[in-house]
Structure formats: structure tokens, C-alpha cells
Chains A and B, each alone.
Chain A
Amino acid sequence: MKIKLKETWYAYLFLIPTFIGIATFAFFPIASSFWWSLHELRYRIKWTGMPFVGLANYVWAFTTPDIWGSLGYTLYFVAVSVTLEFLIGLGMALAMFHTFRLRGILRAVVIIPWAVPAIIQASMWKWMFHPDAGVISDILMRIGLISRPVNFLGEPILAMHSVILADVWKTSSFMAIMLFAGLASIPQDIYDSAKVDGARMWFRFRHITLPLMFPIILVALLFRTMDAFRVFDLVYGLTGGGPGTSTEVLSTFSYKFYFSYARFGQGSTLAIVIFLIILIISALYIRNLQKSLRFRR
């Protein structure tokens, strides 16, 4: 009992600095957003004050016509993007871990896509996708895959997938970094005894590596899903939500209301809605995580 009490005290001690910071700089903004979402707050029509409207904004959020389309695009983006970046990231992490001589270079190289800031990426990819002055069109034409310049960001379906491509290039790097830590956390002797027992590479991978990596895989997927739902800079910079509204994800949608229209009430409502969606989805991940993460009992 003495030890347990001591552990509890220490646990609180270790957590307090983090929690003070979070309480001030994260919970306060979330709380004020929630507060604003219950009011009508339009900065451009100041004389209306800030009347309390209860859940009226939420009703608006769920009945405004474009929101469901936006939700659909976001879900598609998240599903495709996260899947692709996971697979590519896993491949990169394995390569980082198993190659001997290239290891150092690979580790440095793999980090670079994630290290290029999002707003730079938006401008960079925009020029690369340019039909006449962009390298992608040019290379594809030289290889012979296309005969005329393609309008990557101008056709509805193509635009969405171009955005996904740009996003995956960046985020597979994040996955690789995280999954690498996961691979490194597996004790070597498990592999050694498995090899002694005659287990082959694929078997080792399926039955040792993946299960033991499962917690970190879930964490990586969790964070990437959360991030993908909130994706903003890349989409806004590449297409601005267009063509039409075919790449209008939830974040660009709420940005319009919050910043462009200065309707803080409704903008905050949309932000809280995004927050709740992410919360629900995270709950699913966390439930799975709890089962697999063998925290000290």
C-alpha cells in the first residue's frame, strides 16, 4: 500500500506541469469556443450584441445544405489518405529499421517531407500541378502517359485525388517516424528465439512484429485520423475548396464562417462539431488501444 500511495503522489507530481499548461492554453480556448457557439456573435454587425441562442447554431450547422457534402468529402479524404500513408509509412519504417548501411541516410531523408511546412507545400504542389509550367504534367508527358497537359486541380475528382497525393507524400513521413519508434521498441530476443524455432520472415512479421507494434500503430492511426479531419492549409492553398465545392472539407468550411465572414458564433459551432466528430472517432480507437496496451497493472 505504501508503494501504491507513493506511486500515486509521484504520478500526480509528474502530471501537474502538463496539466497546468493544458488547462490554461487548451481548455480555455475550447471552453470559449463552446461558449461562443451558444451565441450569435457576428463581428461585422456589432450592434446586435451577443444574444444567447442556445443550440440554434447547432441546428443550423446540421441543416445547412453544404455541410453534408463537406462531411462526405472529408470522410473520403480521411479514409483514403490515412490508408495510403499508413501502408507507405510502414514500408518506409521497415526499410529504416532493416537496412544496415543506408540507415543513417534513410532516416534523414524520410523526415524531410514532414519537415517541409504545410503552407510551403501548398504553394509548391500548386506549381507542380500546373498544366504547362508544372513538373508533373511535364514528366508524365515525357514518359508518354499523357499527351496533353492535364488540369489536375481543375477537375472535381482529379482535384480531390491530387490533394490526397500531396497530403500522403507529406504524412507518410510522419507515419514512418512513429512506426520506426514502434519497431524499435520490440525486444530483440523475441525475434532471436523465434528464429531459433525456425520462424520465417513473413511469419515473424505477421505474428511478432505487427502484434507488438499494434499499440503504436493505433496511436499513429489515431493521430493521423485526427489530423486528417482537421486538414486545412494544404486543401485551402491548393484548391480553395474548388472546383465548385468538390474539395470543401470541414475545416475550410468552418474557416469561411470564422475568418472570412467573421461569424464567430457559427464558426465556433462548426469547430465544436468537428471536435465532437473527432472525439467520437477517437473513442473507438482508444477502446481498442486499452485492450492492447498492457499498462502496468
Chain B
Amino acid sequence: MPSLSYRQKRLLGQVAAYIVGAIIIVYCLSPIAWILLTSIKPPGQEIEIPVRYIPSYISFENYWGMISKIQFLSYLRNSIIIASVTTILVLALGSLSAYAISRLRFRFRTASLVTILVVGMMPGIVMIAPVFFLIRELGLINSYLGVIIPHTIFALPVAVWLLASYFAQLPFDLEDAAKVDGYNPFKVYYKIIMPLSAPGLFSAGILAFISSWGEFMFALTITHDINARTALVAIATLPGAFHLRWGWITAGVVLSLLPILIIVLVFQKWVIQGLTAGAVKY
């Protein structure tokens, strides 16, 4: 076969990339398709033999049930607040720690990194009882903060490690300029490193948000009612002993996914800016 021209190769590459992209979309979304379809089925058609894919008519009764009877929007509000504050805290504390570890010189660098990692090594089940006890002693039961604090702590290891690796890739001469006129590590962190770190912060932020959003056991035991319970706990405490209302559950899951999608789409722009800015800058 004759060697392809540069342009043809580029075209082939692009086509391949798009095919792969399509495969990825199918891969990621097919189970979600089942959830989505089930949520718009009229009650009673959720599970059938043989499998019914398309509902006989589209019904939003499940969504209506969740929103009006279960007051799901209040729970969503709680989830959003808890996850957002957790993410902000994780990014703030995490990036500070990651910056210190990756770009400042001090003796306990590796030790710090390992210590932070240790947090994520224990199986979750044994952490619940002691943490519940602590939160109760602090009087934070059934409050946002009572859930935010454990969520932040357990999301920190991934964030710190990811950001430390990311920061370590940035060129080291960035600080040298600052050192000449009065060195303030905090200023360097704030003015130089952070703006360049959009992709890293985005990834770390999304992971922190999702880890808080999808956390169940702490949220269940620390909160008691609609004032502080998260969307996931609401879905899990729907009425049902044996017979689960799949319609409501899937409607709740779809409603839960929406804020995440919105956040991702909104922050995309920022990430793209960060990517292109980085390319130009260095």
C-alpha cells in the first residue's frame, strides 16, 4: 500500500478518534440508557418479562412523585451544598498541601505524602462508628458540617496526590522569577501556580464532588431528616420493603446526575482556557 500523505494520515487519525469517541459514548451511556428509560415508564412497566425497552407511553409520574411527594428537590439542595463546600475545602486544603509537598523544600516531604495517603487505606466500615462518635461529641449531628467534615477528610488523599503530581510537572523556573523580588510562597501559589492548573484542579474537583455526592454510610448515620439528608440517602430510604419502586429510584438517579452534568459542562470552558493558556505560556 502506498505511503499515505500527511494530510491523509491526519484525516485517518481524526476519523479513528471520532469512532473511538462514539464507542466511548455508547460504553458509558448504555447502562444509563436503561436508567433513563425506566424512569419515564409508567408505573408497573419497570421490570417485565420479556424485557420491555420502550415504554408504551412516556410518563413523568415518577419524577412528579419524587418531587412532590418525597420533596426530592430539598434533598438535592442538601447534596449540592454539602458536595460543593466539600469540593471547595478539598481543593483549598489539597492544593495548598500539594503545592507545599511538590515545590517547597522541607524535610518531611515524603513523610507528609505518605501520611495523607494512609487516610485512604482503611476499609470504610470500621471508620463509621468512631467518626459518628466524634461528630456527635462536636454536636454536629444532622447538620451540613457534620457530613462535610468527614467527606472532606476522605477526599483529600486523592486530591493531594493528583495535584502534587500535576504541580511537579510545571517548570521550576516559575518560582525563580519570584525569588528575585521578595519571595512569598503564598503569592507564587496564588498568582502563578493556580492559574496554570485548571485541568488538574478540574479533575481533582470533580473527583471530590462525586465522592461526596455518592457517599452513603456517613450521610445515613449522621443525618436524620430532610434538613440535612442527601439525595442518595433519600433514594435509599424510599418506601419499600421488598417491592422497590424502580420508577422513583431511577427518576431520583437521573435528577441526581443533572447537577453533576451541569457543573462539568460549566467548568469545561474554564478547563479549555487553562489548557490553551498553558500551551501558549510555556
Contacts and interface: CB of A to CB of B under 8 A. Distances in A.
**Is there any pair of Cβ atoms, one from A and one from B, under 8 angstroms apart in the complex?**
yes
Interface string A30-45: 1011000000000000
Contact of A258 (B99, B112, B115, B126): B126
A64 interface: no
B149 to A, nearest CB: 6
A81 interface: no
Nearest to A169: B31
B34 A124 contact: yes
B152 A21 contact: yes
B74 interface: no
A22 B107 CA distance: 20
Interface in B166-188: 166, 168-172, 179, 183, 185-186
A239 interface: no
A108 B127 CA distance: 32
B114 interface: yes
Contact of A296 (B165, B172, B210): B172
Contacts of A230: 123-124
Contacts of B149: 21, 25
B101 interface: yes
Contact of A282 (B103, B117, B207, B275): B117
Nearest to B199: A184
A178 B75 CA distance: 29
B93 A17 contact: yes
Nearest to B204: A181
A177 B203 contact: yes
A163 to B, nearest CB: 15
A21 B155 CA distance: 12
B74 to A, nearest CB: 19
Contact of B114 (A14, A105, A201, A286): A286
A180 B210 CA distance: 17
B153 interface: yes
Interface residues of A, number: 104
Interface in A268-297: 268, 271, 274-275, 278-279, 282, 286, 290, 293-297
Contacts of B236: 119
Interface stretch (A3-11, A52-60, A151-159): A3-11
A181 B203 contact: yes
B54 interface: no
Contacts of B101: 11, 15, 295
A26 B118 contact: yes
A18 B130 contact: no
A59 to B, nearest CB: 20
Interface residues of B, number: 112
B213 A117 contact: yes
Interface string A198-234: 0001000000000010011001001100100010110
A241 B52 CA distance: 30
B122 A6 contact: no
A106 to B, nearest CB: 6
B7 to A, nearest CB: 15
B100 A201 contact: no
Nearest to A189: B282
Contact of A109 (B25, B99, B110, B120): B25
A7 B28 contact: no
A188 B127 CA distance: 43
Contacts of A282: 117, 121
Contact of A28 (B31, B124, B134, B204): B134
Find the residue from B99, B169, B189 having the highest chain A CB count within 10 A. Answer: B169
Contact of A29 (B20, B99, B114, B131): B131
Find the residue from B18, B100, B115 having the highest chain A CB count within 10 A. Answer: B100
Contact of B93 (A21, A92, A226, A250): A21
B278 A127 contact: no
B158 interface: yes
A3 B162 contact: no
Nearest to A127: B47
12 contacts: A11-B185, A21-B149, A91-B20, A109-B25, A116-B253, A181-B200, A187-B282, A201-B13, A219-B161, A233-B216, A275-B122, A295-B103
Interface of A: 3-4, 6-8, 10-12, 14-15, 17-19, 21-22, 24-26, 28-30, 32-33, 88, 91-92, 95, 98-99, 102-120, 123-125, 127-128, 132-135, 138, 169, 173-174, 177-178, 180-182, 184-189, 201, 212, 215-216, 219, 222-223, 226, 230, 232-233, 250-251, 254-255, 258-259, 267-268, 271, 274-275, 278-279, 282, 286, 290, 293-297
